[in-house]
Amino acid sequence: MRTPLICLFLIINLCICCGQDEQPSNSKAQRRRMQNRRRKIKLSARNEHLIEPTPIPVPASNFPIYNNDDAVVHILKAVLGVNEQAPSYNILPVKKGHCTVNGMVMYDKAVWSPKPCITCMCSNGKEICDETICAPLTCPVTVTLEGECCPVCSEIVPNDPSEEVLKKSPRTQEEMDELLRSEEEETEEENERKRDKENKAKKKKEERRRQKEEQKRLKLEAEEAERQLVLVRRKAYEEEELRIEEEENRKREEERKRKEEEDRREEEVNRLAREKKEREKEEFEPEDEDEDEDEDDDEDDILRGDVFRAPQRRFPGSRRPTQTHHPALPPGCFISEITVSCSNAKLTRIPPISDPDIKSLDLLGNFITSVPNGAFNGMPNLERIDLSKNNITSAEIDTRAFKSLKNLKRMYLDGNLLVHIPSELPSTLEELKLNENNLAGIEENSFKGLKDLVTLELEGNQLSEANIDPLAFKPLQSLTYMRLAKNKFRTIPQGLPPSIEELYLENNEIEEISEIAFNHTTNLNTVVLRYNKLEETSIAPLSWMLHENLESLDLSYNNFYHVPSYLPKSLLHLVLIGNHIERIPGYVFAHLKPGLEYLYLSHNKLDNDGMDPVSFHGAYHSLREIFLDYNQLTSVPVGMEDMKDLHILRLNNNKIRSVSPHCICSAEDERDSSIEYLHLENNYINTREISPYAFSCIRSYSSVILKPQKIK
């Protein structure tokens, strides 16, 4: 019996030694597997929405412990607990100092773990057990990992859904295998997606390469077309220059022929006059009974001075013709049909001409100083008198000088020395020009009786709202055209005729426009206020907003910083050149009916931030011409592609560097554009980088002007 027992004991010891040798390596492999699983569990748990699980203690696994002599002691998992009673029989005899645990013999100093986190040791035949004490942790969140006794700090942030993974009950082996399989499938899918992405990137790269080649080809074609276009334009320009030169030569030839014809006619007239004088010398003296009558005729003929009259026929029995000699006009004057012209003839007085057929007298640019009574008695049917650019003063105009002119319609007194309106002007006057004088005021009766006057020009005088009587314009019931430019007005003059249609007030000092300025001028069609001192806030909202006939408004060269609001609702033509405009407010044209057609904003300070699609709201369907040249634009403004009736667009002399494919031609509208002239020259555009589709909607490439461009 002793021999078999010894053999059994040796076999048991051999098994224990083999287990002790293999356990560390198995424990290390198991720990690595558990760490990998825990890492995968964390990753999968971050993508799951978990319900708060009931905490369940995590079972521990075997782990090695180091004793005092650094030898690894294997911890055996006990079948029973520490306090459970061991069986009463023994298989092997127990020597002194050994311990018996659950029917197994433990050598002295042997260590085992009957339960997780409890370590027992055999000491001189006694079992000594101790529970593992964990070190305190300061981290906000701790977690006890599978196979470990003590908690560790968790990297999961508070309120992170992944924290719920730690509270979830441990997964079974089947779940772990399923999780691993799903992870492998996800990895495979991720690899497949990467391959698809790489394939797409390759296709995209190939497509980009193909597009670049296509763009390069189209660019070359566009350059060739542009070269052809330049050649055509150059040829057309040369032909136009040749045509202009031929036209100028033709005009010069016609002028030369006309001058030769006039010289010939003048020579013929002089010849006829000489022949007439010679014939008169050969005539016999008239009879006594006809002498008085002939003398009267001679006096009339001398006054007329008309050398173009053909001599009258000689009647049978008469001894001399009835036509007598007419003295020639002053040097520098000539007659053409019903007009006597003495322009720049150095005259110092109005010549005494007597001819009822004369209807136009031109005395421009002489040294005439006065208009005496009866100066025009010999020309009672005059309809037009031009006394411009003389030295006539108000004191030297007789009050009855124009009284005999019952048909006078046009009188020009520009460029004289007048200080007030001449009195007793004919009531038939339709046009009166008194520009460039020294008029210092207009009295209540200055225009008395001129109910048929249509045009009145008072430009370049000393007039202001202070020296014009409010009732001065009341007699002008038919006045439609008035020029008051180059005066001293600070506001719109009062008492303007209700019939007026065109008002020119440029080059004054106008600073404000009140609400009542145009109350009675409801027929106004054109107002020109350029070169004044107007601002946005100086125009009253109701000054002209409700006008139904005001179509043209020129506010150039004032002090506007944005397009003014409250524009006339009937406005078609708005000129704002040479201001300081930086912005076009939204909906500023929305109330205009039928809509603005011409907008001129050249020489301002507009940039792309000062315009947006609502800036042109209400004018997209009506605008025909837009001038935005000489501003600070860096790209084509938004909304240009939606202008359905635009014919001219000027964007030259800005800072534009690129032209996007759809800034002119809309991608949604396949119809041809109505643009006839598109100016983009003198910017910073690289014409080689323009998309071939940028101007595809424009009918003719000659409508697009791109050269020259500035150097970057």
- Following CA atoms 498, 499, 502, 503 in sequence, which dihedral angle do they give, to the nearest 10 degrees? -30
Q: How far apart are CA 74 and CA 66, in angstroms?
A: 9
* Model confidence band, residue 311 (pLDDT cutoffs 50, 70, 90): very low
Q: Do the beta carbons of residue 550 and residue 524 sit within 8 Å?
A: yes
For residue 521 the two structure tokens come to 């001028």
Selected residue with higher pLDDT from 218 and 489: 489
Q: How far apart are CA 630 and CA 650, in angstroms?
A: 9
Count CB neighbours of 397 within 10 A.
23
Q: Do the beta carbons of residue 232 and residue 708 sit within 8 Å?
A: no
For residue 673 the two structure tokens come to 């554009």
- Residue 671 carries which DSSP code? S
How confident is the model over 529-568, as pLDDT tens digits?
999 999 999 999 999 998 999 999 999 999 999 999 999 9
Count CB neighbours of 199 within 10 A.
10
Q: How far apart are CA 486 and CA 505, in angstroms?
A: 8
Is pLDDT of 284 > 60?
A: no
Q: How far apart are CA 440 and CA 43, in angstroms?
A: 96
Q: What is the mean pLDDT of the chain?
A: 79
What is the predicted pLDDT for the residue at 403? 86
Provide the CB-side half-sphere exposure for 127 (13 A, CA). 21
Q: How far apart are CA 291 and CA 299, in angstroms?
A: 12
User: What average pLDDT does range 106-110 have in this prediction?
Assistant: 80
User: What average pLDDT does range 284-297 have in this prediction?
Assistant: 45
Q: Do the beta carbons of residue 560 and residue 532 sit within 8 Å?
A: no
Residue 527, SS3? strand
Q: Do the beta carbons of residue 543 and residue 529 sit within 8 Å?
A: no
Q: How far apart are CA 147 and CA 689, in angstroms?
A: 68
Q: What is the full DSSP assignment across 41-98? A: HHHHHTTS----PPP-PPPP----EE-TTS-EEPPPBPSS-TTSPPPS--SSPPPTT-
- Do the strands 384-386 and 360-362 form a parallel or antiparallel pair, or are they unpaired? parallel
Please give the backbone phi and psi of residue 18, each rounded to the nearest 5 degrees, phi first: -65, -40
Handedness of CA 163, 166, 170, 172 (dihedral sign): positive
Q: Do the beta carbons of residue 376 and residue 355 sit within 8 Å?
A: no
Q: How far apart are CA 475 and CA 57, in angstroms?
A: 113
The most confident of 33-47, 124-138, 212-226, 622-636, by mean pLDDT = 622-636
- Residue 609 carries which DSSP code? G
How confident is the model over 74-93, as pLDDT tens digits?
444 333 444 444 444 444 55
Selected residue with higher pLDDT from 706 and 104: 706
Q: Which residues pair with 575 in a beta bridge?
A: 554, 600
Is pLDDT of 45 > 60?
A: no
For residue 130 the two structure tokens come to 């101790």
Name the residue ranges covered by the structural domains of the chain: 17-171
Residue the block writes with tokens 């319900």: 51
Q: How far apart are CA 708 and CA 712, in angstroms?
A: 13
Q: Which residues pair with 122 in a beta bridge?
A: 127
Q: How far apart are CA 646 and CA 661, in angstroms?
A: 18
- In angstroms, the first-to-last Cα distance of the chain is 112
Q: How far apart are CA 501 and CA 227, in angstroms?
A: 50
How confident is the model over 231-240, as pLDDT tens digits?
776 777 677 7
Selected residue with higher pLDDT from 362 and 141: 362
Is pLDDT of 319 > 70?
A: no
Helix 2-45 vs helix 173-282: angle between axes, to the nearest 10 degrees?
Answer: 20
What is the predicted pLDDT for the residue at 328? 61
Alpha helices in 98-172, H assignment, sequence order: 163-167
- Residue 614 carries which DSSP code? G
- Do the strands 360-362 and 339-341 form a parallel or antiparallel pair, or are they unpaired? parallel
How confident is the model over 191-200, as pLDDT tens digits?
888 888 888 8
> Can you say how many angstroms the Cα of residue 646 is from the centroid of all Cα atoms in its chain?
14
How confident is the model over 592-633, as pLDDT tens digits?
999 999 999 999 999 999 998 899 999 999 999 999 999 999
How confident is the model over 667-695, as pLDDT tens digits?
887 788 899 999 999 999 998 889 888 89
Count CB neighbours of 337 within 10 A.
9
Residues in the chain: 712
Phi-psi category of 410—alpha, beta or left, where left has phi over 0 and alpha has psi -120 to 50?
beta
